[in-house]
Amino acid sequence: MKLSRLLLAGFLFTTGLLNAQTDFKPGYIIKKSGDTIFGEIDYQSDLKMSWICKFKNADNTIIEYSPNDILGYRFNEGRYYVSKENNNIKVFLEYVIKGKVNIYYMADDIGGHYYIDKQNMKLSKIFYEEKIRYVDNVPYYNTSTRHYGILYSYMKDDPDIQKNIHTINLPYRKNLIKLVREYQNDVAKGEKCIVFETKPPFLNVSIVPFAGVTKYKVYNKFTNEIGGFIYFNSPRSSTKHFYLKTGLVHHTLQEDGDKLNIFKIPLQIQYIYNAYRLQPKLSGGFNVIIGTSNGYKDSGLTFTLNPGLDFRIIKNLYLSTGLNSDFLQFTRTILEDAYDFDILSYSIIVGLRVDI
């Protein structure tokens, strides 16, 4: 089936781009001389950024730096990586907070780990693990407590810090930042800590007005389509590349003198790879179909799968393209004659995406 091949090709193309995409963001590197060079840095996974810095200079040349090559690098938005020796190997540690004691973060194949150092005290891992131990063949969930002693050894000049340390059952970014701030206030009143992060907004909203053409297999012609999508996502969550997608789509069909108005309300999950310029996307879910003809109204539900591609024009404004489709009618509607097959319709759309 030609349409099936077209949708499959779109899906594979989008997936391939998702895997191949880079995500360059404004930032700078710090050379061993102390000089800073501004450009763009590839925003990779935590694991990759511990070992390599992919830097794009003013000539758009991409250079890869290891922890042995530079002192560190930083994104303008706040995340800061410094070269440190860890277990006799140089790595990039993410600087979490700088004060009388410093906290760092690094990811490896096992997971994420936090580190601490202080003037005249070497870098140490804030050791923590969870495991199951057996007593008389009965499993017990057990968490380590070694991190209490490690934290206290770096902060023991604060007599009041012990009780605060014992509130940290699990070391993670938020409670370690809070602890260091409490320690800083006690031992260095008037000196502020530096937190190397920018807190993203709780909610992002994008609107996408568009126009396009739709074709139903049962009718051998295209019809115009207009509408708009709305995307919602939370940048603070671990699923920041996923969006809730809804909106309203409208087109009409003319057949044997009858005019059929069709409205679609998307209820979908969408993934957008938020690279700097080219942003592949893929959404799937359901469309609520509402059809009206000669005063008669009916509704139904279809499955949809939609690859697409957005191109950044300027900040917060993108050229948006997509291939939308309707599969598998779950309920019978006024469109039952048009929808009596596996692939019901497809649309090619072009619009503008505005990130509010």
d(CA 143, CA 301): 48
**Distance (Å) of CA 115 to CA 84, 88, 173:** 11, 15, 11
What pLDDT sits at residue 339? 42
Q: Is 203 a residue whose pLDDT tops 90?
A: no
What pLDDT sits at residue 279? 87
Residues 150 and 115 in one domain: yes
d(CA 151, CA 182): 13
What pLDDT sits at residue 344? 78
d(CA 30, CA 38): 9
Residues 54 and 185 in one domain: yes
The model carries a pTM of 0.58
User: Confidence class of residue 18 from pLDDT cuts 50, 70 and 90?
Assistant: very low
Six-digit token string for 293: 């003809």
The closest alpha carbon to 281, from 315, 306, 304, belongs to: 306
Residues 187 and 298 in one domain: no
Six-digit token string for 108: 């490896």
Q: Which residue range(s) make up the domain with 303?
A: 201-355
Convert the pLDDT of each residue in 171-187 to its tens digit: 989 999 999 999 999 99
Residues 54 and 68 in one domain: yes
Q: Is 247 a residue whose pLDDT tops 90?
A: yes
Residues 189 and 205 in one domain: no
What domain count does the chain have? 2
Q: Is 3 a residue whose pLDDT tops 90?
A: no
Supply φ then ψ for residue 66, to 5 degrees: -95, 170
Question: Does 56 map to a domain?
Answer: yes
Q: Is 15 a residue whose pLDDT tops 70?
A: no
**Distance (Å) of CA 77 to CA 18, 126, 199, 234:** 23, 26, 9, 17
d(CA 177, CA 96): 8
**Distance (Å) of CA 309 to CA 8, 117, 240, 323:** 15, 45, 18, 9
Question: Does 16 map to a domain?
Answer: no
Residues 94 and 53 in one domain: yes
CATH number of the domain to which 311 belongs: 2.40.160.20
d(CA 274, CA 317): 13
Last residue within a domain, chosen from 148, 165, 195? 195
Residues 181 and 33 in one domain: yes
Residues 165 and 237 in one domain: no
| Contact criterion met (CB below 8 Å) for 318 and 352 | yes
d(CA 345, CA 243): 24
Residues 119 and 67 in one domain: yes
The closest alpha carbon to 226, from 245, 242, 250, belongs to: 250
**Chain centroid offset of residue 233 CA:** 9
Six-digit token string for 347: 């649309």
Q: Is 6 a residue whose pLDDT tops 60?
A: no
What pLDDT sits at residue 334? 46
Specify the higher pLDDT residue, 247 or 169. Answer: 247
Last residue within a domain, chosen from 175, 195, 215? 195
| Contact criterion met (CB below 8 Å) for 243 and 207 | no
State the pairing for strand pair 70-75/24-31.
antiparallel
User: Span 289-314, mean pLDDT?
Assistant: 85
**Distance (Å) of CA 237 to CA 115, 182, 199, 201, 203:** 23, 26, 11, 10, 10
Q: Is 130 a residue whose pLDDT tops 60?
A: yes
User: Confidence class of residue 211 from pLDDT cuts 50, 70 and 90?
Assistant: very high
Least confident residue range of 182-191, 274-283, 301-310, 314-323 = 274-283
What pLDDT sits at residue 136? 75
Question: Does 4 map to a domain?
Answer: no
User: Span 287-314, mean pLDDT?
Assistant: 86
What pLDDT sits at residue 157? 92
User: Confidence class of residue 198 from pLDDT cuts 50, 70 and 90?
Assistant: low
Q: Is 342 a residue whose pLDDT tops 60?
A: no
Residues 217 and 156 in one domain: no
Convert the pLDDT of each residue in 52-108 to its tens digit: 999 999 888 999 999 999 999 999 878 899 999 998 899 999 999 999 999 999 988
- Residue 51 in 3-state DSSP? coil
Specify the higher pLDDT residue, 277 or 307. Answer: 307
User: Span 230-234, mean pLDDT?
Assistant: 91
**Chain centroid offset of residue 261 CA:** 37
Q: Which region holds residue 137: left if phi is over 0, alpha if psi is between -120 and 50, else beta?
A: left
Torsion of CA 54, 59, 60, 63, to 10 degrees: -20
